[in-house]
Amino acid sequence: MSRWEEMADRVLAGEAVTREEALAIMACPDAEFLELLSQGYRLRRRYYGNWVRFQHLVNIQSGYCPEDCGYCSQSRVSMADIARYPLVDVETMVEGARRAHALGATTVCLVASGRGPNPREIARVTEAVATIKQELPVRVCACLGLLRPDQAAALKAAGVDRYNHNLNTSEAHTPAIVTTHGYQDRVRTVEVVKAAGISPCSGLIVGMGESDADLVDVAFALRALEVESIPINFLHPVPGTPLADRPLTPPLRDLKAVIMMRFVNPTREIRLAGGRELQLRSLQALGLYVANSLFVADYLTTPGQDPGLDHQMVRDLGFEVEPPGLELPLP
């Protein structure tokens, strides 16, 4: 029995991996990678079978952000050539949800740039969410920045199922990435979301110059916060952003991060998110042996691959796209 099989047996028996074991996954020799991957697949199969959940992003407000997140093309320090527009109207948000449904997504994510929402944004998003929930069999995830309890309560009352606010990186590495808000601000928003009864979604970005220990720190922080959905983004170094010159990371290292996240958070929804086409390239499909969710179509300011290729990838693996209404338990 390999050490990875023994570790997976213990996780399947309900035991939590240790920090040292998570670090060992990140340091797994490439020669052992396939065995590690297959043990990650055992965990994924236990909780999600061969289903793949599709989600779709709608960028409802782009650019003009006062924050300085180094990876983001919408920040105040970004010179990236992107579309910049204020909050779109309700019909445009609903139209985005219709497109999500047509693409096979069971969750639509309404994402606005900015430090946090103002009353006008909350009012417009809540109106749109009510319409979407009436019309379409989709879950709605909102991502509007730092949130106060009264704003979270308003979103909950409108029918928002999930709220995304990524930790992005470890507490130690955060100051190298952003200076206009801190790691604890992000943690607080996740806690506010949970307290309002909204399912918390929070993840990270791999490839921002962090160490393996930073990635392990985030995985354990997400476990401690009991987040239910974990998007794993891979840095897309956009020209004009402070991280534009960061080299791409080896795809096997990216995949080890996905596997490590599965071992630390075995029951959680884990999504291959932004940058997967660029960073994982030909190894994207391997990621689905461990992750159980994908963003389909374009990201906020960068194009994704053709949605037909994502459907094809799922079929090629012998997996199935989760249909609307299947209602796999939200872990």
Q: Which amino acid is at 127?
A: E
C-alpha closest to that of 55 among 113, 104, 116 = 104
Count of residues interacting with ligand SF4 (CB under 6 A): 9
What would the DSSP string read from start to end of 54-106? EEEEEEEEBS--S---TT-TTSTT-------B-PPPHHHHHHHHHHHHHTT-S
> Is 72 a catalytic site residue?
yes
User: Cβ 224 to ligand SF4, closest distance in Å?
Assistant: 23
Rounded distance, CA 321 to CA 310, Å? 10
Coil, helix or strand at residue 110: strand
Annotated active-site residue 124? The verdict is no
Active site (annotated) includes residue 28: no
Q: How far apart are CB 72 and ligand SF4 at their closest, in Å? A: 3
Task: Please indicate whether residue 143 is annotated as part of the active site.
Answer: no
Which residues in 80-119 contact ligand SF4 (CB under 6 A)?
Answer: 113, 115
Q: Determine the Cα–Cα distance for residues 82 and 87; give it in Å rounded to an integer.
A: 15
Annotated catalytic residue within 65, 143, 223, 262: 65
Instruction: Give 134's contacts (C-beta < 8 A, 6+ positions apart).
Output: none
Active site annotation includes 65:
yes
**Which residues sit opposite 110 in a β-bridge?**
58, 142
In whole angstroms, the minimum distance from the beta carbon of 162 to ligand SF4 comes to 17
Q: Check residue 145 for interaction with ligand SF4 (CB under 6 A).
A: yes
Positions in 56-85 near ligand SF4 (CB under 6 A)? 65, 67, 69, 72, 74-75
CB 236 within 8 A of CB 16: no
Catalytic residue (choose from 28, 44, 69, 143): 69
Q: Which of these is catalytic: 28, 44, 139, 141?
A: 141
Task: Tell me the closest approach of the beta carbon of residue 98 to ligand SF4, in angstroms.
Answer: 25
Binding site for ligand SF4 (CB under 6 A): 65, 67, 69, 72, 74-75, 113, 115, 145
Give me the active site residues, please.
65, 69, 72, 109, 141, 201, 271
